[in-house]
């Protein structure tokens, strides 16, 4: 479905300085209905890779193919869910979700479909609420509904739970797991949280620090459907050890922080 072929992304240096290489020689295949999670330290190019897949930016070298066609620019078949919900504060929940259909110029609005997604997201009773009246997790559910209502081929998720408190984050992870079981969408999700990556993914893409490269791809063999209590299983802990061992060279030791800080 998506084929990333030897892409490099370079940004010009500031004040005629050396250019910044955000990604270098990255290749990746994402199959239909696969849940792929990229994990890595800050500055490893995760968001840059997602922006390239969304068509917000173009690679400096290499190419990205979607269903055999070279990907150029944003497209309705790819929808992004950002870390912040980016809801319109003057619109009620129902209208924020319907906005996805309006932007795709699907008129008249299928309000039955909107109400179906409100129910799917567990937002019954909140259809007429404004975003400020919702919790962070509920706001993100509205954003996900707005993305899914247009039936995208690929859902791109940029650390969507990163701004939430720990308990809400756990709840949203289970919510997304249950949702994926229902819709089986193709998802590319980025995070810096190793446990989140393993819990959600069919395959974890481990990225190195600057410049961003793919260090390893790990198939997650945990059975589905999954629940959050799986993080205590031996199989989960073994996968976590594998990922952390790959990331270890990129992690700043506490001793060096103490000595230099």
Q: Yes or no: say if 53 and 28 are a contact pair by the CB < 8 Å rule.
A: no
The pTM for the full model equals: 0.90
Within a domain: 13:
no
Instruction: Tell me the pLDDT tens digit for each residue of 45-61.
Output: 999 999 999 999 999 99
- Reported as a pLDDT band with limits 50, 70 and 90, residue 69 is very high
Contacts of 39 (CB under 8 A, 6+ apart): 46, 190, 191, 192, 193, 194, 197, 204, 205, 206, 207, 243, 247
Nearest-angstrom CA–CA distance, 146 and 154: 14
Specify if 128 maps to a domain.
yes
Does 250 reside within a domain? Answer: no
In a domain, 141, yes or no: yes
Residue 103 placed within a domain: yes
Is 9 part of a structural domain of the chain? no
Count the domains in the chain: 1
Query: Does residue 89 lie within any of the structural domains?
Result: yes
Distance, CA of 4 to CA of 43 (rounded, Å) = 20
pLDDT at 261: 39
Return the closest-CA partner of residue 236 out of 228, 248, 247: 228
Q: Is residue 236 part of a domain?
A: no
| pLDDT at position 253 | 52
Res 194 pLDDT > 80: yes
What pLDDT, on a 0 to 100 scale, did the predictor assign at position 16?
67
215-255 pLDDT per residue, tens? 999 999 999 999 989 999 999 999 999 999 999 876 555 43
Which residue is it, tokens 């299983």?
A: 233
CB distance 204 to 39 below 8 Å = yes
Supply the range of the domain harboring residue 106.
Answer: 84-151
Q: What is the pLDDT of residue 249?
A: 75
């Amino acid at each position: 479905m998506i084929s990333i072929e030897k892409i490099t992304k370079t940004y010009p240096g500031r004040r005629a300085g050396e250019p910044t290489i955000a990604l270098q020689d990255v290749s990746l295949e994402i199959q239909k209905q696969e849940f792929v999670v990229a994990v890595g330290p800050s500055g490893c190019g995760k968001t840059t890779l997602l922006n390239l897949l969304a068509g917000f930016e173009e690679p400096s070298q290499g190419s990205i193919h979607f269903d055999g066609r070279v990907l150029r620019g944003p497209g309705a078949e790819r929808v992004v869910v950002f870390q912040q919900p980016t809801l319109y504060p003057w619109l009620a929940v129902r209208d924020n979700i319907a906005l996805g259909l309006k932007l795709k110029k699907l008129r008249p609005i299928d309000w039955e479909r909107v109400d179906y997604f409100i129910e799917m997201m567990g937002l019954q009773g909140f259809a007429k609420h404004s975003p400020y009246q919702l919790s962070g997790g509920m706001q993100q559910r509205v954003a996900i509904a707005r993305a899914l209502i247009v039936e995208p081929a690929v859902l791109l998720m940029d650390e969507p739970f990163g701004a939430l408190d720990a308990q809400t984050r756990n709840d949203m992870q289970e919510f997304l797991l249950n949702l994926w079981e229902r819709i089986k969408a193709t998802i590319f999700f980025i995070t810096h949280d190793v446990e989140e990556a393993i819990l959600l993914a069919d395959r974890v893409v481990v990225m190195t620090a600057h410049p961003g490269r793919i260090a390893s791809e790990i198939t997650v063999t945990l059975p589905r459907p999954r629940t959050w209590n799986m993080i205590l299983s031996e199989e989960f802990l073994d996968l976590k050890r594998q990922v952390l061992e790959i990331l270890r060279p990129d992690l700043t030791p506490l001793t060096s922080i103490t000595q230099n800080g």
